[in-house]
Amino acid sequence: MLNRSQPLRPEPETDPNAEQKAVALRYDMDRDQAPRVVAKGRGHVAENIMAVAKKSTIPVYQNKTLVNMLMALEIDREIPPELYRTIAEVMAYVYRIDKNAKHRAQQQQAKLR
C-alpha cells in the first residue's frame, strides 16, 4: 500500500541529485581477455575520473545502471562474461565516436591546406 504522506523519491537512474559515480575501463587486446576496471569512485573521485577522461579526450559513455554493476567489481579485475555483450555495445559506441572525431579532424586539416 502506498503511503501518501511521503513524497515519491526519484529512481537513481533519473535523479539528477544522486551521487555521481564513475568507472574507467581499459582493454589491451594483446594482454587481456576482457576489459578491466582500472578506476572507480563516487563523488569527488568520480569527478576526477571524469576530468581525466575529458582532459585526455577519452569518450565517456553514461549509463547509471551499468556503472552501478561495474562499481561492484574490484580494481584490475576483468569484467565478468555476463557483461560482455553490454560492454561490447559500449566499446562499439566509443569506437564510432572516436572514428567520427578523427574523420572531422582530417576534414578540418584538409580545409586548412
User: 21 with 68: CB under 8 angstroms?
Assistant: yes
So where are the chain's domains?
21-112
CB 27 within 8 A of CB 34: yes
In the chain, % of residues over pLDDT 70: 85
At 108 the pLDDT is 76
Question: Which has more confidence, 15 or 65?
Answer: 65
Cell numbers describing residue 64: 547509471
pLDDT of 72-87, one tens digit each? 999 999 999 999 999 9
* Domain topology for 21-112: name from scop (3.40.1690)
pLDDT, average across residues 28-49? 95
* pLDDT higher than 80, residue 68: yes
Under the phi-then-psi rule, with left for phi > 0, alpha for psi from -120 to 50, and beta for the rest, what region is 7?
beta
Q: Give the model's pLDDT for residue 84.
A: 93
**pLDDT above 90: residue 50:** yes
Residue 4, pLDDT > 60, answer no
For residue 37, pLDDT over 70 is answered with yes
